[in-house]
Amino acid sequence: MSAELSPKNIVVITHDASEHDVFALLWQQGYSVQASGLNNEAMLAFADLVIIADQLLGHYNYQDIQNFYEILNSKYADTPVISLEGYGQLSGTQISLFLGDVSDRLQYSTKIKQLKQQNLDLINQLQKNKDTSELALTTQSEFLTRISHEFRTPLNAILGFSQLMSWDQLLTTEQRGYTEIIYQSGKQLLSLINDILEMSKIHSHRLEIDKKVFVVREMINDLKHIFNPKTEKKNLELILNIAEEVPVCIQSDETKLRQILVNILNTAVQSTQAGSITVNIFIAGNPLSKVLTLVFEIKDTGLGIHHLEVERIFEPFVQSGIKFEDGTGLGLSISKHFASLLGGELQVKSELGEGTTFTLSIPVEFPISLNTFSSDRPLQLGNQLGDQTTVSSLKILLAEDSLVDQKVLVRILNKMGYAVDVARDGLEVLAALEHKCYDIIFMDVQMPNMDGIEATKEILQRFNNAPVIIALTAGALPENRNRCIEAGMNEFMTKPIRPKQLKIVLDHWEHQLSSGNFYGLVN
């Protein structure tokens, strides 16, 4: 039914209009009246009211009548229908009743039209708002991704060179202090960039879950090594209690679980001035079940948080009375989202003067057999970086167009005992491979002439014994990693490159190459 038509269009179903006085009666009331046969569906589209003037069975066959009502009920269910059979002869009181019925039905029809149009307008407006919101989120996400990429490139130089300087034994204590300030400030800026990028991914629904089997105690030991220097600096005791029923291996997203725990521990360290931080890890429910609820309880002896601020602690940019030395107050908000994404829950209890307790509960799958766990863990670092005296036999090619990044990575690799050749783009990589066999290529993704993605595809197509290809990129989104892996790269590293991370990756691949087990990503 067209919304543009007058709300007074009446269609009278009759085989002969001259037999009925209803037309004159309706015209006198100012209605627009049209006569129609039973099979004129087009006429029904213009009707605000349908009046059946004939005894249908007396003038039409059963199939035509059935088709008429099927069309009326399916396409024009909101159009009111009046049958003249119910009124008998239209005279006297019956005329008043009939016209009153017509008026009421038309008012109903008009109201239905108005409500439908309002509903349609509302749906269109909501869709428009949704499209505008999605466009704004996409624009914001693209902007933040671009900014993140642009920030990571100079940060690679700041963090890389400041760490190289800290290895210099000739530095005075004062100079070493300045170098440490530069390095820590760079790390703080990197943390800020990472947090903002994570929030952007959360709001644009671009987060992905990557469940893998991993060793719980190894992850906890890694966290202990990270936080021991921080707690020792403040004379805090870091206590780790892992219940016996916690399985050796679980299946979950280790990266997101680790980030949740890092954010909580950072909060605990920064809000605790004296005493201890205790991490209790245990299983809730039946420990023999295939799907377990793994609980991490982190207690500190800090000053605690006011109950009104506790309610807001997971809101973005809220620091709830805690004086953070670094960060944006995004960490706990990100952790809350990650916990939900993993199918779990993150809760907090705190009182002023009583400390704070964070409780993370997440469902994790228990592998049927420990054989499902492929132990490709990186080798442990032996000496401190910078004290490396052994020269590695690994043949390494660095593909990087940025002169600053070239200097940083070459110098770090040299310090570790690796010799490195340099190519400035994908074409130079292909040319270098024609003259020398390399074990590992560190491949920047964005390069002139031929980028890292195209170069990787060419290498895999041209050379039977292709080297290990490790992507270097300032792009930190999952799609950046997926694009590199789909192209055939074996590993993915995000700038700025950290020396310890670089050493772990190199040790892993050197071990893989020497043992003949070429494939298998480090995570």
Last residue of a domain, one of 183, 203, 223: 203
Least confident of 100-104, 251-255, 257-261, 510-514: 100-104
DSSP 432-492: HHHH---SEEEEESS-SSS-HHHHHHHHHHH-SSPPEEEEEES--SHHHHHHHHHHT-SEE
Q: What is the mean pLDDT of the chain?
A: 81
When pLDDT is averaged across residues 248-266 and rounded to a whole number, the result is 87
25 compared with 400, residue with greater pLDDT: 400
Which of 216-220, 377-381, 414-418 shows the lowest per-residue confidence on average (mean pLDDT)?
377-381
Nearest to 251 by CA among 351, 350, 105, 372: 372
Looking at per-residue pLDDT, the higher value among 314 and 88 belongs to: 314
| pLDDT category of residue 328 using cuts at 50, 70 and 90 | low
In this structure, the answer to whether residues 85 and 35 fall within a common structural domain is: yes
Alpha carbon distance 126, 129 (integer Å): 5
pLDDT band at 86 (very low <50, low <70, confident <90, very high): low
CA pair distance 339, 359, nearest whole angstrom: 11
CATH of the domain at 165: 1.10.287.130
pLDDT of 513 over the 70 cut: yes
Residue 369 has pLDDT above 70, yes or no: no
Q: Dump pLDDT digits (tens) for 279-327.
A: 999 988 766 666 789 999 999 999 888 877 887 888 775 555 555 444 5
Please indicate whether residue 89 or residue 404 has the higher confidence score (pLDDT): 404
Rounded Cα distance between 270 and 322, Å, is 8
pLDDT in tens, 40-56: 787 888 788 888 887 77
**pLDDT digits 0-9 by tens, 96-131:** 777 787 888 888 777 887 888 899 899 999 998 888
- Check whether residue 343 and residue 419 sit in a common domain: no
Q: Note whether 197 and 220 are same-domain residues.
A: no
CATH of the domain at 457: 3.40.50.2300
Average pLDDT of span 480-496: 88
Q: What is the count of structural domains for the chain?
A: 4
In a domain, 377, yes or no: no
pLDDT single digits (tens) 135-156: 777 777 677 777 777 777 788 8
- Tens of pLDDT, residue by residue over 398-457, are 999 988 889 989 999 998 999 999 999 999 999 999 999 999 999 999 999 999 999 999
The residue range of the domain holding 439 is 396-515
More confident residue, 95 or 279: 279
Q: From CA 40, how far away is CA 63, in angstroms rounded?
A: 15
Q: Residue 237 sits in a domain of what CATH number?
A: 3.30.565.10
Q: How confident is the model at residue 518 (pLDDT cuts 50, 70, 90)?
A: low
In a domain, 441, yes or no: yes
222 and 171 belong to one structural domain: no
Do 58 and 105 share a domain, yes or no?
Answer: yes
The amino acid occupying position 362 is I
At residue 516, the 3 state secondary structure works out as coil
Asked if residue 75 has pLDDT above 80, the reply is: yes
Question: In the prediction, which pLDDT does 470 show?
Answer: 94
Q: For residue 483, which of 459, 454, 461 has the smallest C-alpha distance?
A: 454
| Residue at a domain's end among 58, 88, 118 | 118
CA atoms within 13 A on the CB side of 447: 30
* DSSP three-state, residue 205: coil
| Residue 342 forms part of a structural domain | yes
Cis status, amide bond into 496, omega within 30 of 0: yes
Domain boundary among 338, 372, 406: 372
pLDDT at position 5 is 42
* Distance in Å from the first CA to the final CA of the chain: 61
Of 374, 377, 503, the residue nearest 440 (C-alpha): 503
Angle formed by the axes of helices 331-341 and 173-203, nearest 10°: 50
| CA distances to 55, 152, 369, 453 from 193, in Å | 78, 8, 39, 25
At residue 520, the pLDDT reads 38
Q: Say how far apart CA 341 and CA 206 lie, in whole Å.
A: 12
User: Is residue 300 helix, strand or coil?
Assistant: strand
Are 219 and 363 part of one and the same domain? yes
Residues 426 and 499 in one domain: yes
For residue 223, being part of any structural domain is answered with yes
226 and 339 together in one domain: yes
Q: How many residues does the chain have?
A: 523
pLDDT at position 429 is: 95
Indicate if 93 and 41 belong to the same structural domain: yes
pLDDT of the residue at 448:
92
Q: Is 293 a member of any domain?
A: yes
